[in-house]
Structure 1
């Protein structure tokens, strides 16, 4: 190397012992310059900031102790070598150094990489500034000074990861558990986790009823396969995971069973054949995993209070990175929220099924009207987002050829509402046998309901049909008015004075008598038929009169047509509907 082109020799002076003490006078006179050089050397070599100097050919001419300590390479391992050749895994901004040599303008740049000294933050980051060095008007190289910002970068990365995790959990809250249907919730969970967190997501839940299959052996937990989601090209290879059975039995001691029993996740990145066999001992399944290119497995339980309702298996393959600890925490957060929704859906399904069966059992056996009155009825349970309610209808044959038509609706939903409905129905059947006028029937039913302690009120409409006189007498306890459909195509909403609901013990009811032509149809219904969001209930009721409903045809076809036109097969609340018509004598 040409000594004339090296940085000034004072920077590399071995000692300053001979330097005179520095005083204000000596500084002015220039005698203190050797001391200044020594102080500068102490600063450069004592700082914790890495300092490097390269010549105009980008060859190392100096590195300070801080840089040798950070990199693990001694100073003589650098001198005379090209910038970047000593640490190939550290980014070298050669283009920036060339620009600094050319125009003399200092430049800041971020340098990243891994050195021979391990770092707890992984890839290290330095914020560096490079200055051109000149001596006696000649450019001799570039000096770089850096400050390590790896910890700050790691902090910002951790903060960003936390934000992403929270965003993912928030998204899961809006996309998973949107209904009270178990299968839908499991499908939403699998569809959310793949591809947002894994290449493949499979959800299974504990089987509690072994319908159509023998129960598992004692101590074995049965897991029903609910949904597997993956990209089409991957799912093609995973098709065999479905197997011939819709469930898998989990004996004690297996990975998945231990995961559920302990409530802790299980993770295996870059899993070996042995580890994959622990997930599923069937060698055919291991072969399927490998064929699909899966390399990492994460199993997370679906926890609720005291037990796990199922598990989620997440798989990554191909170029996807292995699961990180942040991925595990995120998966646990999503699984915990989904488990609550699945448990609620299962509870709802059990109550909904029991309530619906009770309601259908009660409604399937109404008293038959007199032969002179034709009746058609329908009951539609609400959509999946609501529980079954307390809607009911009835027809009771009374002496003198008369028939009492009943339509009622208990406040609230669920099993208790259905039980209250059965009690109101029984009370009204008993009261109807007394032969009282319809307004007094409601008054007596109101008193009895209060006396037996029914804690739910109910609206009710009674219509007494008297074919012999061609009249109907109606009274309502806060229920919607009936509609009359006439043979000429016209329709009318009957104007009734509404009294208080049953169960309030405020009974004060009035009755209204009107004529009913032999071919006219009387419609009784609950509010689920006409209630619409954003629409006034009175306008919705008047809308019934504008429908094209044939009064002279089959009553069965009429009620089906009415439901089709108003509900499109979907209803937000239960619907009970009764259509009645006097039979012609020659019918």
Structure 2
């Protein structure tokens, strides 16, 4: 083959020296080749030789398919370039003779027709870049995006109620749509069911709470334990092992002998085989350090076995569902409380994150020391955030106090089910409206984040929060109030962001602090905003005491509750 002539110099001058032409082609990491009209190599630079794993001289006179038979050559595209002269971009896949860490390799090729000075087509010029790593990153991003979409769907579809069985069924229905042919959800049995005997020795008893499957498998429904039934698993079998270790168990393409050890009843193996079941995946349902149960995913027929990506997705969805299950379990437990002593209901709020100082103050109405419907709470949430809550349930006395306890308990449940204060209020309102409460209440939620220097507020008919600046000036925040909780108005609650500067104090309060029956509420709020609190940088307890002293009447007509929060230096 004749050598390739160097290109002409700038502005049609003499050609570049051979050394520069060689440096250009030999120094680039891109593969460069020249193919003749028969699509046989005339020239290959060192980079392409390394990509193909074949010395450059062994390319000459051979076609792409002859040099690297494991690569999709796309010769039909190259012939189109020869025919019409239109350059084309081509993505090729396969494996060359060179070693590679990529199980599937990709190359981006740019091809253009070569014509000599007389206009004769002499071949094709090719520029080839390997993009295998980029493709793997793209695939990983796509997998991440799909996983996020699934988690978004889980957030909407799982945990729509505070019923454990309903939540388990929502999880099973979602999983059978996206990654399995059949799903069984089991939870640890809390005790003996009606008419149930004790589990046999050497077994672990769970209760089947949900079952879902593709239509073609329902003909074999008798092979599966049905919702409501108790399942006794032999210790050491996959389900107890999953609960003991907290790790998923993958059971791909099991022979009959091993399959019989995984089922509650050995006689079920024949039914599983009739349904063409071949693989299983068991993931734990765990939340806040507690094991709640397991999810068993089954694949049958032409479905592939489970891989690492399946395990990651199934576990993420199970973790999301487990939080809802644990919330439902906690809510069910707390909902069973009938009456508490009024003094016990006035318990101290939870602890904030260490970077926030919080102080609270409560004054009962009149001369009685019995609590009414005013309440407050502080909850440390993941990510360094602290939830500040202030509420007021209609009325006084034991009934209002008990209802107040329900509001606080419900907030602690929904705080793990939503990220924004407005969404938390909406969840509380849905539950209260569904329960048909006789005592609506107002509520103000603030999500304080000292690391980011901000707070998010949402209001359910409550008075606006305030900021006390280091100078002592009090500024009311504009937080649009939605309808009170439990009023059955199906309202929306807007979340508002406010900057939270160092040394600023967030102040939440109930209407008993400012409201007077003889004046408009705007006048009452103006009285609060008109205060100038000296020594606002001092202890929060002392500051709240001074606010109460200056605003609250000696014989208060309503309970007074205050909560102040300040970020620590």
Secondary structure of 1:326's counterpart equals helix
What are the residue-to-residue correspondences of 1:230-379 with 2, within 5 Å? 230-242=213-225, 246-273=229-256, 275-280=258-263, 282-352=265-335, 355=336
Q: Does 1:416 align with 2:372?
A: no
Any conservation in 1 of the 2:223–2:272 contact (CA below 8 Å)?
no
Match of 1:438? none
Distance 2:5 2:264 in 1: 69
Distance 1:196 1:54 in 2: 47
Residue 49 (structure 1) aligned to one of 4, 9, 30: 30
Distance 2:293 2:315 in 1: 13
Match of 2:539? none
Distance 2:14 2:333 in 1: 98
TM-superposed CA distance for 1:28, in Å, is 6.5
What are the residue-to-residue correspondences of 1:362-511 with 2, within 5 Å? 414-416=337-339, 455=371, 501-502=396-397
Residue 489 (structure 2) aligned to one of 520, 528, 533: 533
Aligned length: 365
Distance 2:311 2:71 in 1: 31
Shift of the 140–158 alpha-carbon distance from structure 1 to 2, 3 Å rule, reads: same
Larger radius of gyration: 1
TM-score scaled by length of structure 1 = 0.54
1:118-169, CA deviations, whole angstroms, 9 ceiling, x for partnerless residues? 5434322222111223345332221211111221222122122112212211
Secondary structure of 1:297's counterpart equals strand
1:321-343, CA deviations, whole angstroms, 9 ceiling, x for partnerless residues? 44332322222121112112223
Unaligned runs of 5+ in 2: 343-363, 375-393, 401-435, 441-485, 492-569
TM-superposed CA distance for 1:276, in Å, is 3.4
Distance 1:77 1:271 in 2: 48
1:448-495, CA deviations, whole angstroms, 9 ceiling, x for partnerless residues? x997x754569xxxxxxxxxxxxxxxxxxxxx9xxxxxxxxxxxxxxx
Q: Does 1:224 align with 2:219?
A: no
Shift of the 288–121 alpha-carbon distance from structure 1 to 2, 3 Å rule, reads: farther
Secondary structure of 2:224's counterpart equals helix
Any conservation in 1 of the 2:234–2:264 contact (CA below 8 Å)?
no
Match of 2:145? 163
TM-superposed CA distance for 1:264, in Å, is 1.0
Shift of the 84–278 alpha-carbon distance from structure 1 to 2, 3 Å rule, reads: farther
TM-superposed CA distance for 1:184, in Å, is 0.9
Secondary structure of 1:416's counterpart equals coil
Any conservation in 2 of the 1:219–1:251 contact (CA below 8 Å)?
yes
1:67-97, CA deviations, whole angstroms, 9 ceiling, x for partnerless residues? 3432334556644444335444422232321
Secondary structure of 2:64's counterpart equals coil
TM-superposed CA distance for 1:285, in Å, is 3.5
1:303-349, CA deviations, whole angstroms, 9 ceiling, x for partnerless residues? 12333110001123344344332322222121112112223323434
Shift of the 533–106 alpha-carbon distance from structure 1 to 2, 3 Å rule, reads: closer
Shift of the 28–450 alpha-carbon distance from structure 1 to 2, 3 Å rule, reads: closer
Match of 1:474? none
Match of 1:492? none
Any conservation in 2 of the 1:169–1:334 contact (CA below 8 Å)?
yes
Match of 2:45? 64
1:194-222, CA deviations, whole angstroms, 9 ceiling, x for partnerless residues? 11222222111111121211111455321
Any conservation in 2 of the 1:268–1:275 contact (CA below 8 Å)?
no
CA RMSD after TM alignment: 4.0
Distance 1:308 1:503 in 2: 36
Residue 189 (structure 2) aligned to one of 207, 214, 217: 207
Any conservation in 2 of the 1:298–1:315 contact (CA below 8 Å)?
yes
TM-score scaled by length of structure 2 = 0.56
Residue 171 (structure 2) aligned to one of 186, 189, 193: 189
Match of 2:180? 198
Any conservation in 2 of the 1:229–1:235 contact (CA below 8 Å)?
no
Distance 2:52 2:276 in 1: 38
Distance 1:224 1:321 in 2: 29
Match of 1:110? 91
Match of 1:496? none
Distance 2:80 2:330 in 1: 71
Any conservation in 1 of the 2:281–2:296 contact (CA below 8 Å)?
yes
Any conservation in 1 of the 2:81–2:87 contact (CA below 8 Å)?
yes
Any conservation in 2 of the 1:199–1:317 contact (CA below 8 Å)?
yes
Secondary structure of 1:242's counterpart equals coil
Any conservation in 2 of the 1:203–1:228 contact (CA below 8 Å)?
yes
Residue 140 (structure 1) aligned to one of 116, 122, 130: 122
TM-superposed CA distance for 1:282, in Å, is 4.8
Any conservation in 2 of the 1:238–1:289 contact (CA below 8 Å)?
no
Secondary structure of 2:231's counterpart equals strand
Any conservation in 1 of the 2:371–2:396 contact (CA below 8 Å)?
no
Unaligned runs of 5+ in 1: 1-5, 13-23, 356-413, 421-446, 459-479, 481-499, 506-524, 536-587
Distance 2:231 2:23 in 1: 72
1:261-288, CA deviations, whole angstroms, 9 ceiling, x for partnerless residues? 1111112444444553453375544444
TM-superposed CA distance for 1:56, in Å, is 1.0
Any conservation in 2 of the 1:293–1:318 contact (CA below 8 Å)?
yes
Match of 2:360? none
Shift of the 145–161 alpha-carbon distance from structure 1 to 2, 3 Å rule, reads: same
Match of 2:107? 126
Shift of the 215–102 alpha-carbon distance from structure 1 to 2, 3 Å rule, reads: same
Match of 1:577? none
1:407-445, CA deviations, whole angstroms, 9 ceiling, x for partnerless residues? xxxxxxx5336x88xxxxxxxxxxxxxxxxxxxxxxxxx
Match of 2:81? 100
Distance 1:91 1:350 in 2: 63
